[in-house]
């Protein structure tokens, strides 16, 4: 089976990344996942939330929003409950691959602004947010702030679902709107699962067998994501000898 855009069921849309997209941010990129486009920035703040004070650890959090005309019909600029849910997922994904104790009492704020949405915006935000975070922390490492680089792994996020009975990855908006079930698989470049989030539609059910198949598809599809990240970050990875 080939999909509306000509992809195979297990094929991720083309990912392209332009780094240093925002002049003033410590780390930034414009990521395109098919027709989904997200501007991601990483800002270094010399403070931490109250729960992290005097514990010698840093923090990473994310904020997510969609421009009013990132979709086919204008939406409100006000953040919704969905935005808060997605930014928590993004924050958890990025914190999971970092050693927060190496940050010191610093916070990294990740801003993910969707300028065009065609499905999988949370996946593009996690991937782009990771690249922006990596660049920002690399600059601090280059300046001698860190003895050891705080990032331990690469992170990927891939959406998976069943549309008209067909299992597929990286759903477009049209596919997602018709999906019987869909999940997001967040994993590391070592095949470790960070988070699986999703559910079924119209009061249906998902068997354990189907769930496992979708997770496996997501992890296999992440290999392409990691190849893109390695290419985009190649100049930094070589200097860091990452992972050491």
Q: Domain boundaries in the chain?
A: 15-240
pLDDT band at 191 (very low <50, low <70, confident <90, very high): very high
Beta strands (DSSP E) in 46-106 are: 59-66
pLDDT computed for residue 47 by the predictor = 93
pLDDT band at 2 (very low <50, low <70, confident <90, very high): confident
Mean pLDDT (the chain) is: 94
Whose CA is closest to 181, among 156, 158, 207?
A: 207
Which stretch of DSSP H or E encloses residue 186?
A: strand 179-188
pLDDT computed for residue 1 by the predictor = 64
Query: In the structure encoding, which two tokens stand for residue 152, read together?
Result: 């331990």
Which stretch of DSSP H or E encloses residue 40?
A: strand 36-45
200-229: per-residue pLDDT in tens?
987 778 899 999 999 999 999 999 999 999
pLDDT computed for residue 201 by the predictor = 81
pTM reported for the whole predicted model: 0.95
Give me the residue label for tokens 């470049």.
189
64-123: per-residue pLDDT in tens?
999 999 998 898 887 777 889 999 999 999 999 999 999 999 999 999 999 999 999 999
Instruction: Write out the DSSP string of 191-220.
Output: S-EEEEEEEESTT----HHHHHHHHHHHHH
Q: Residue 48: beta bridge partners? A: none
Measuring CA to CA, how many Å separate 110 from each of 2, 85, 95? 36, 15, 11
Pairing of strands 59-66, 107-116: parallel
Q: Does domain 15-240 bear CATH number 3.30.230.70?
A: yes
Whose CA is closest to 141, among 96, 95, 103, 94?
A: 103
Residue 204: how many other CB atoms lie within 10 Å: 10
Phi, psi of 147 (to 5 degrees): -75, -40
Q: How far apart are CA 114 and CA 30, in angstroms?
A: 10
Mean pLDDT calculated for residue range 2-16: 93
> What percent of the chain shows pLDDT beyond 90?
84
């Amino acid at each position: 089976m080939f999909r509306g855009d000509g992809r195979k069921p297990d094929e991720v849309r083309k990912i392209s990344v332009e780094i240093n997209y925002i002049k003033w941010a410590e780390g930034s990129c414009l990521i395109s996942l098919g027709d989904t486009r997200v501007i991601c920035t990483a800002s270094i703040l010399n403070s931490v939330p109250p729960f992290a004070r005097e514990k010698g650890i840093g923090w990473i959090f994310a904020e997510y929003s969609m421009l009013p005309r990132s979709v086919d019909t204008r939406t409100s600029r006000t953040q919704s409950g969905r935005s808060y849910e997605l930014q928590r997922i993004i924050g958890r994904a990025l914190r999971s691959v970092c050693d927060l104790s190496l940050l010191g009492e610093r916070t990294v704020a990740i801003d993910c602004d969707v300028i065009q949405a065609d499905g999988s915006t949370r996946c593009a935000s996690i991937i782009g947010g990771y690249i922006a975070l990596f660049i920002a922390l690399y600059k601090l490492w280059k300046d001698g702030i860190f003895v050891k680089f705080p990032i331990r792994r690469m992170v990927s996020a891939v959406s998976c679902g069943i549309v008209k009975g067909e299992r597929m990855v990286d759903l477009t908006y049209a596919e997602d709107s018709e999906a019987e079930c869909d999940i997001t698989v967040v994993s590391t470049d070592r095949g470790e699962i960070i988070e699986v989030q999703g559910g079924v539609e119209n009061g249906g059910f998902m068997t354990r067998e189907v769930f496992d198949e979708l997770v496996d598809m997501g992890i296999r599809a992440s290999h392409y994501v990691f190849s893109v990240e390695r290419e985009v970050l190649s100049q930094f990875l070589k200097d860091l000898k990452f992972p050491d």
